[in-house]
Each structure stands twice: as structure tokens, then as C-alpha cells.
Structure 1
Amino acid sequence: ADAGFDVFLLNQRGTTYGKKHVNLKTSDNKFWQFTLDEYAKYDAPDMIDKALQLSGESGLYWVGSSQGTIVGFMTLAETPAYNRKVKAIFQLSPVGTGGYAKGIFRFAIAAFQIFKPVLDVIPFF
């Protein structure tokens, strides 16, 4: 923002800003009955459109953290028209961890950790 860019900080329901919901109050059980699928299908596209409308831009950069990473991927996968509206997506932290993986997945995670230093020095692109 200090460099003259429009910056929009978005969050999902469950914050104090959710109290301005058009139809529901936070005391209504229905307010809390939503899924990430619904958020990616309805809420995220609406927020993207609003940010573009307010900024006058044709595209934006998405910076996701934790749950924002999965919602970003879901939105772009489920609503392909938004691939033109999001210029680039930067995912800062994962939504989960492999620490509780079982079976073959635990082995794959351990093997990846062993080979990661080698992969870091091999140019893929």
C-alpha cells in the first residue's frame, strides 16, 4: 500500500466483520453452516469481483496463507473464468501438515525430506 498499490485484506466468516452479514446473525446456526466448497464457489469470486470493481483493475494478485491457500486453489479450479482475473497466486503456508500421515504417505514424506536437498539444486524449469 505504501508503494501506491491497492491492497485488500480478506477473511472468511468467523471474524468480527462477519457480523455485517446481509441475512444472518452470528447467533444463527445457519451462519456457521458453510463449507470451503461454498466459500470457493461463492464468497471468494464475489470478493475478487469487488476488489476489481473498487480498484478499476482487470486482474489482481492473490496472496494466500493457510486456509487461504486451499481456497485460492479451489476457486481457480472450480471457477475457470477467474484464472483470467487472478494474475498470479502466491501461497505462503500450507493448509495442513503431513505429520499425521500413515502408511505409504508417511514413507513418501520421509523419502521426500531425504531427497529434497538434491531436488533443490536440479533446475526443473
Structure 2
Amino acid sequence: ADAGFDVFLLNQRGSTYGKKHVNLKTSDNKFWQFTLDEHAKYDSPAMIDKALQLSGESGLYWVGSSQGTIVGFMTLSETPAYNRKVKAIFQLSPVGTGGYAKGIFRFAIAAYQIFKPVLDVISFF
């Protein structure tokens, strides 16, 4: 922000700053009936759209930390239209790792590590 960039922070439902609701109080059970799926399907796309509307930009950079990493990945995989709106995604301290993957997933992770230098050279990703 000090360098002149617009910075928006998403306070997801249930977080310290995300406990205000139009009709529900935090003491209501219904207030807490949401999952990461709702964050990814509704909250993050709404936040992206609002940030782009306020900034007048066509795309943004996503910096996720902890839960924000998984929600970022989920948002971009579940709502592919947002892949055009997020220029790059930077994930810090992700909540998931491929280290415990089994079967075909373990093979895919290993193959990617082997072929990544070649893929980088040919600009595959």
C-alpha cells in the first residue's frame, strides 16, 4: 500500500473480522453452517469482483496464507472464469502438501518434479 498499490484483505466468514451478518448472530447455529466450499464458491469470487470494481483493474494478485491458500486453489479450480481475473497466486504456509499423497497422485508429483525444468524451458505453465 505504501508503494501505491491497492491492497484488499478478505476476512472470511467466522474469522475475527468476519462475524458480522445482516440477520444472524454468532450465537445462532445457522451462522456457523458453512464450509470451505462456500468460501471458494461465493465469498472469494465476490471479494475478487469487489476489489476489481473498486480498483478499476482487470486482474489482481492473490497472496494466500494458511487457509487462504486452500481457498485460493479451490476458488480457481471450482470457478475457472476467475483464472482470468487472478494474474498470479502466491501461497504462503499452505495447509496442504503432496507429501502424503498415495497412488497415482504420488506418481504425478514425482513426475512433475522430474519434468519441471523441461516444462519451464518450453514455457508449458
- TM-score class, shorter-chain normalisation, is 0.7 to 0.9
Contact kept in structure 2, 1:66 and 1:92, CA below 8 Å: yes
Cα distance per residue 1:99-122 (max 9 Å; x no partner)? 989999999999999999999999
Identity among equivalent pairs (%) = 94
The equivalent of 2:111 in structure 1 is: 111
When the two structures are superposed, what TM-score results if normalisation uses the length of structure 2? Answer: 0.75
Q: 5+ unaligned residues in a row in structure 1: which ranges?
A: none
Cα distance per residue 1:71-121 (max 9 Å; x no partner)? 000000000010011000000111146898999999999999999999999
Q: Which has the larger radius of gyration?
A: 1
Name whichever of 7-16 and 51-60 sits farther off. Answer: 7-16
Q: CA RMSD in A?
A: 3.5
Write out aligned runs for 1:30-109 (5 A). 30-96=30-96
When the two structures are superposed, what TM-score results if normalisation uses the length of structure 1? Answer: 0.75
SS of match in other structure, 1:65? strand
Contact kept in structure 1, 2:60 and 2:88, CA below 8 Å: yes
Cα distance per residue 1:14-67 (max 9 Å; x no partner)? 234323212321111111110111110001100111111111111100000111
The 1:78–1:123 alpha-carbon spacing in structure 2 relative to 1, beyond 3 Å, is closer
Higher strand share: 2
Give the number of aligned pairs.
125
Contact kept in structure 2, 1:52 and 1:58, CA below 8 Å: yes
Moved beyond 3 Å, runs of 4+:
96-125
C-alpha separation between the residues in 1 aligned to 2:76 and 2:105?
26
The 1:2–1:14 alpha-carbon spacing in structure 2 relative to 1, beyond 3 Å, is same
The 1:20–1:105 alpha-carbon spacing in structure 2 relative to 1, beyond 3 Å, is same
C-alpha separation between the residues in 1 aligned to 2:9 and 2:27?
25
Contact kept in structure 1, 2:70 and 2:96, CA below 8 Å: no
Q: 5+ unaligned residues in a row in structure 2: which ranges?
A: none
